[in-house]
Amino acid sequence: MSGQGDDTRREVEPPGADPASPSNRERAEGLWPVRVELVPLRRPGIRGLLTLPFKALVRPLLRWYVAPLVDAQRDFNDVALKLIDGLERRLELDADPRRLAELEERILRLERTRRDHPRTAPPGSDVVTRPEQNESVPFDYFAFESRMRGSMTDIRSRQASYVETFRDMGPVLDLGCGRGEFLSLLGEGGIVARGVDRDPEMVAFCRASGLDVFHGDALAYLSSLPDESLGGIFSAQLVEHLQPAKLVELLRFAASRLREGGVLAVETMNPLALNALKNYFADLTHAQPIVPETLVFLARDAGFRTAEVRFLNPPPAHARLREVDLPADPRFDEARRALAANVERLNELLFGPEDYVMTAVR
């Protein structure tokens, strides 16, 4: 019951109008306290004129029947409006940018790919796998990447600095290309590139985005290429998924498939910082963290002429230990230096950069 009777004609919002607009909120405030006491309204024309006295006579007689219904409607309207207001406040308070980005990427995936058989290969795939490397991940890894690693926008921002590393180095192969962030960056930079990934949903998503991606095992695909056929190889957050023998094999194939002067860039988590290990252990498919010195040694041993490490993605200043101010008295100079050195060392061990990249030249 609206409380306005059946003789009124209220204006209706046009299609597409915002239901949460101030005008609609004001209308809701005015309409929720429905009541029995209404002035009889007359329909236009002779019929309305004739029925008006009858309505004025009958309405008081029906009050005993209508009043309980109106009271219940008023209570319902009151509770419903309060619940909607509370839900709106909760959505404003609980809005998590990472959660919103994850939901956006889930919707984007549904728009770009068909999910009838999510764990099967995309149509037209020639899957290159090895028996021991063909097990499916037992959960939705696409959603896991969005939630735990970051949105595609975040990853593109982090990886943008790698583009210049591969300038004039095409063709470039992205091993374990995932959602295709780096492939899209390379394409925008005019660099010929191809990706390979074993997750069928990742591959379907990339192909729907217009990217050249092969569905198969990264190591098996790399081994199938001719020697010196690539100018660059990129790998982000892949090598920590490999057992030692497979890691060594990948680096050796990379060295032989790159032409002279070709570049390999391998990004992985930094196990020298305790805060970064949280991200490592969050992913159940990880095999082992890799110390930077170990990765450099393996690259040099595989045949790369040079290999160097650069640390990436340090935590924000508010997430690190802060120095303590001591009195300016010279007697505190030695303590001040020791305290500053200790804070710096603890920050390196506990709150250091989350990732590092090893860049090796053939």
Same domain, 60 and 205: no
Q: What pLDDT score does 85 carry?
A: 79
Picking from 54, 79, 95, the residue at the C-terminal end of a domain is 95
Whether 5 maps to a domain, the answer reads no
Helix (H, G, I), strand (E, B) or coil at 260: strand
For residue 354, give the DSSP letter. S
Looking at the chain, the number of H-run helices and the number of E-run strands are 13, 7
Same domain, 315 and 174: yes
Confidence of residue 118 (pLDDT cuts 50, 70, 90): very low
For residue 15, give the DSSP letter. T
What percent of the chain lies above the pLDDT cut of 90?
43
Whether 14 maps to a domain, the answer reads no
Give the global pTM: 0.65
Q: What integer is the mean pLDDT of 347-360?
A: 92
Whether 340 maps to a domain, the answer reads yes
Whether 227 maps to a domain, the answer reads yes
Confidence of residue 172 (pLDDT cuts 50, 70, 90): very high
Cα–Cα dist 2/361, whole Å? 76
Same domain, 158 and 294: yes
Same domain, 78 and 217: no
Task: Note whether 61 and 54 are within 8 A (CB).
Answer: no
> Which element (helix H / strand E) includes 350?
helix 333-350
> Looking at residue 262, which CATH number applies to its domain?
3.40.50.150
Question: 299 φ, ψ to 5°?
Answer: -65, -45
Q: What integer is the mean pLDDT of 288-314?
A: 97
